[in-house]
A = this chain, B = another copy of it.
Amino acid sequence: MRFSDIGERSLIFRITGLLGGLEHDDCAVIELDGDCLVVTTDMLHRETDFPAQATPWQIGWMSAAVNLSDIAAMGAEPLGILIASGIPPETDVEIIDEIFRGIRDCVRAYGTEVLGGDTDAHRELTICGTALGRVSRERILRRRGARPGDLLCTTGSLGGAGAGLKALDIGRFDLARRLLEPRPRVREGIALARTGAVTAMMDNSDGLALSLHDLADAGGTGFMVEYWRIPLADEVREIAESDEEALEMVLSAGGDFELLFTVREDMIDDARKACELSVIGRAVEDGVWLERDGRRIPISRRGYEHGSRDVRSAPG
């Protein structure tokens, strides 16, 4: 049996079992005195993780941003990142400079820094970032914790990255910036954690559908999303050609890097004071549903599953 036969998620399940079980959150958590240290790592490859049209600067920016988004999803303040990079030997050093300028500009934009790393030669450009953050033990936000009745919320708008993928396909590069230069919700994550109103949180980097299922699995609840409440990204309104296509951009495409979280209903005003947010539904007993035209439609566990896309597209 091969990796490609079982896919990424089954493999991760298998490995975590072998390692003695790990909690599935956006970051690993180490308890240190009164604080929690949170750590995340993401390995990105040129062909499978970065759109072909991404500039070197954008490749750098994305590499830092995806890791900072995981820190944000725990409600933590970033402490810094490390960058291990495998770079093809024929790469022009000016291009390498641009990649690292993108990394630097992203970490500075979020008030943090590159702490160190590792660089060697590799056939395909591969950037593995590790981000660290800190949050107090009482404030840390995990994927588990939602209770039926809690309000389901998102920061920002949804579908912008999915719209960006289509924009690149049709040459509308002006609409792809959201995809190529994601803005992790670091400030919002910290502010939300401080309210004490949030019961569970993650980022929606794999698309809304998969993220809802992950949040449901972690908390032992379900979710009902109300169609009319979904804050569609401007890019979606601009480029989608139907309701259905717009919904697909929201549910299935990865890369929005918004925070998806649940809030105690009696404390929603506190959460609203922390940052701009949209209530898009509620936690329910079980199932992941979309309410639309008075009907409950199940939302399947589809979307941007990193491994399976890679498995299909990788050679061999």
Binding site for B on A (CB under 8 A): 1-6, 8, 11-12, 14-15, 18-20, 22, 27-30, 32-33, 35, 37, 39-43, 45, 48, 79-80, 82-94, 96-97, 100-101, 103-104, 113-124, 126, 128, 130, 132, 134, 306-307, 310-311, 314-316
One of B123, B128, B310 near A41 (C-beta < 8 A): B128
A93, B43: Cβ atoms under 8 Å?
no
The contact of A88 among B1, B29, B128, B316, by CB within 8 Å, is B316
* Smallest CB separation, A220 vs chain B (Å): 21
Question: Smallest distance from the beta carbon of A99 to chain B beta carbons, Å?
Answer: 9
Q: Do B79 and A30 touch (CB < 8 A)?
A: yes
Residues of B within 8 A of A113 (CB): 19-20
Which residues from B are CB-within-8-Å of A307?
119-121
Asked if B311 and A89 sit within 8 Å, CB to CB, the answer is: yes
**Is the Cβ of A114 less than 8 Å from the Cβ of B3?**
no
Contacts of A92 in B (CB 8 A): 1-3
Query: Which chain B residues border A35 with CB–CB below 8 Å?
Result: 32
Contacts of A119 on B, CB cut-off 8 Å? 8, 11-12, 15, 307
Residue ID in chain B nearest A87 by CB atoms: B3
Structural contact, B11 and A310, CB atoms closer than 8 A: no
Cβ contact of A14, chosen from B5, B45, B97, B114, cutoff 8 A? B97
A31's nearest neighbour on chain B, judged by CB, is: B79
Is the pair A100, B27 in contact by a Cβ cutoff of 8 Å?
Answer: no
Residues in chain B near residue A2, CB distance under 8 A: 89-93
Chain B residues whose CB sits within 8 angstroms of the CB of A39 once the complex forms:
82, 115-116, 130, 132
Checking B6, B19, B314 against A93 with a beta-carbon cut-off of 8 angstroms, the contacting residue is: B6
Residue ID in chain B nearest A25 by CB atoms? B116
The answer to whether B1 touches A41 (Cβ under 8 A) is no
Decide yes or no: A97 and B43 within 8 Å by CB, A2-B91, A91-B2, A120-B8 being known contacts: no
A9: nearest residue on chain B (CB-CB)? B119
Chain B residue with the shortest CB-CB distance to A306: B120
